[in-house]
């Protein structure tokens, strides 16, 4: 058997696990609410602990390649298991519901920490998506990183309020549909702002529509983007 299949299979397994982790992060409030309503808080707590432990072990083995990544993996999944254990012992659904708020607070702090690094959270992701990312967009990325930090912090406090004041259904709505809708709305607004601000358009249909509405030649920032792209293409030839 070709030994090259081993690393390829590991990469595919890692990509699949990343998808599962994202799905778990997005859907866990709905799952917690359904489990609490179906079998009670102790059953839900046991389920959360089991899933967090299983995903944590898989993430440790497949994705956590550096020592710092392993530490973060242990903290993230260990924290969820610890809270689920307390909820199991105390028979407290509110402790389980607080996981969504704590997750948002944790994400907010991780994003905030990147503001003190050379490249912020948004800039790192932008460079992964756009391999020709120009350096003059870095200050904009820093401002948007701060915006996402505020967004997740506000979500954290809003969800904590919902745990205390709202019904289980109301909390599921806040942590599920409202959270996702507000995140998508912020993403869409930021995309539109970035297109209008830099006028550095791609080749997709949405970028072409923005280019017709807001020509790059109409602003100094747009002309800078055009000049940079032209110079970059020249340097590649």
CA 94 to chain centre: 24
Residue 51 pLDDT exceeds 70:
yes
CA distances from 236 to 44, 80, 105, 175 (A): 56, 48, 43, 47
Total residue length of the chain:
237
In a 13 Å sphere around the CA of 27, the CA atoms on its Cβ side amount to 10
What's the average model confidence in pLDDT over 34-58? 90
pLDDT at 2: 46
Per-residue pLDDT, averaged over 44-56, amounts to 91
Is the per-residue pLDDT at 152 higher than 90?
yes
Q: State how far the Cα of 166 lies from the Cα of 200, in Å rounded to an integer.
A: 44
Average pLDDT (38-56) is: 90
Whether residue 3 has pLDDT greater than 60: no
Chain segment 176-199, per-residue pLDDT in tens: 999 999 999 999 999 999 999 999
Using CA atoms, how far apart are residues 46 and 229, in angstroms rounded to an integer?
A: 54
Contact 153, 108 (CB under 8 A): yes
Name the residue among 189, 202, 108 with its Cα closest to residue 156. 108
pLDDT of residue 233: 56
Convert the pLDDT of each residue in 195-205 to its tens digit: 999 999 888 89
Burial of 67 (0-12, 13-18, 19+ CB in 10 A): exposed
In the predicted structure, residue 1 carries a pLDDT above the cut 50: no
Q: Name the percent of the chain lying above pLDDT 70.
A: 95
Which of 198, 207, 205, 206 lies closest to 229 in space, CA to CA? Answer: 198
What integer is the mean pLDDT of 77-82? 90
Q: Which one has a higher pLDDT value, 128 or 237?
A: 128
| Cβ contact 140:197 at 8 Å | yes
pTM of the model: 0.85
Res. 9 pLDDT band, cuts 50 70 90? confident
Q: How far apart are CA 105 and CA 159, in angstroms?
A: 10
**For 1-5, 24-28, 53-57, 220-224, which range has the lowest pLDDT when averaged over its residues?**
1-5
Does 234 score more than 70 pLDDT?
Answer: no
Q: Tell me the average pLDDT across 222-230.
A: 88
Q: Which helix (H) or strand (E) holds 140?
A: helix 138-165
Task: Report the alpha-carbon distance of residue 10 to residue 148 in Å, rounded.
Answer: 32
């Amino acid at each position: 058997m070709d030994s090259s299949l081993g690393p390829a299979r590991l990469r595919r397994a890692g990509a699949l696990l990343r998808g599962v982790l994202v799905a778990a992060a997005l859907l866990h409030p709905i799952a917690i609410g359904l489990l609490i309503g179906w079998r009670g808080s102790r059953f839900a707590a046991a389920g959360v602990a089991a899933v967090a432990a299983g995903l944590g072990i898989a993430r440790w083995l497949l994705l956590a390649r550096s020592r710092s990544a392993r530490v973060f993996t242990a903290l993230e999944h260990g924290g969820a298991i610890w809270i689920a254990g307390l909820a199991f012992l105390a028979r407290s659904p509110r402790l389980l519901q607080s996981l969504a708020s704590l997750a948002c607070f944790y994400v907010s702090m991780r994003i905030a920490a990147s503001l003190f690094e050379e490249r912020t959270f948004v800039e790192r992701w932008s460079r992964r998506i756009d391999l020709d990312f120009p350096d003059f967009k870095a200050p904009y990325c820093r401002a948007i990183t701060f915006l996402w930090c505020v967004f997740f912090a506000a979500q954290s406090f809003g969800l904590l309020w919902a745990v205390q004041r709202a019904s289980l259904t109301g909390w599921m709505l806040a942590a599920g549909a409202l959270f996702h809708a507000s995140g998508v709305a912020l993403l869409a607004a930021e995309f539109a702002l970035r297109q209008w601000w830099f006028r550095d358009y791609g080749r997709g249909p949405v970028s072409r529509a923005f280019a017709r509405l807001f020509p790059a030649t109409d602003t100094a920032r747009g002309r800078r983007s055009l000049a940079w792209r032209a110079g970059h293409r020249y340097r590649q030839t």
